[in-house]
């Protein structure tokens, strides 16, 4: 499932990492999917909070577009700085990777299986 929740600083935050989120994030930040994955791997402490925040924004808009999130990107970063917050980054990254591996399999892997 591309929807999930994590507890960050004792606040339950809903995320959505599906195809719609990918388009939302790519359009907002003008990056390709490859760049998203690369940046998340190379610069996790910059890109993970950005992706987490935008994923929460996207989920909120999907669930109830009459309400906005009650926190900012800076709030989320501050919460991630608290004890246990880094674990949330790891959990988010795992869910994001799980979505990619399930729905967007590596084409090189698929091609090599056919040979």
* SS3 annotation, 44-98: HHHHHHHHHHHHHHHHHHHHCCCCCCCCCHHHHHHHHHCCCHHHHHHHHHHHHHH
CA–CA dist 30, 45 (Å, integer): 19
Instruction: Give tens-digit pLDDT for 12-61.
Output: 899 999 899 999 999 999 999 999 999 999 998 999 999 999 999 999 99
Tell me the whole-structure pTM to 2 decimals. 0.82
Nearest to 48 by CA among 36, 34, 57, 60: 36
Range with the poorest average pLDDT among 60-64, 84-88, 96-100: 84-88
- Bridge partner residues of 14 (DSSP): 5
Where in the chain are the domains? 3-114
CA–CA dist 64, 62 (Å, integer): 6
Instruction: Give tens-digit pLDDT for 95-115.
Output: 898 888 887 766 343 433 444
């Amino acid at each position: 499932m591309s929807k999930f929740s994590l507890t960050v600083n004792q606040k339950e935050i809903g995320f959505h990492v599906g195809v719609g989120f990918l388009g939302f994030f790519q359009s907002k930040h003008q990056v390709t999917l490859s760049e998203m994955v690369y940046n998340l791997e190379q610069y996790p402490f910059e890109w993970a909070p950005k992706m987490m925040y935008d994923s929460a924004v996207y989920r909120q808009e999907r669930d109830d577009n009459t309400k906005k999130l009650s926190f900012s990107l800076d709030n989320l970063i501050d919460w991630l700085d608290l004890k246990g917050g880094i674990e949330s980054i790891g959990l988010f990254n795992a869910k994001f990777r799980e979505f990619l591996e399930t729905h967007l399999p590596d084409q090189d892997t698929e091609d090599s299986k056919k040979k």
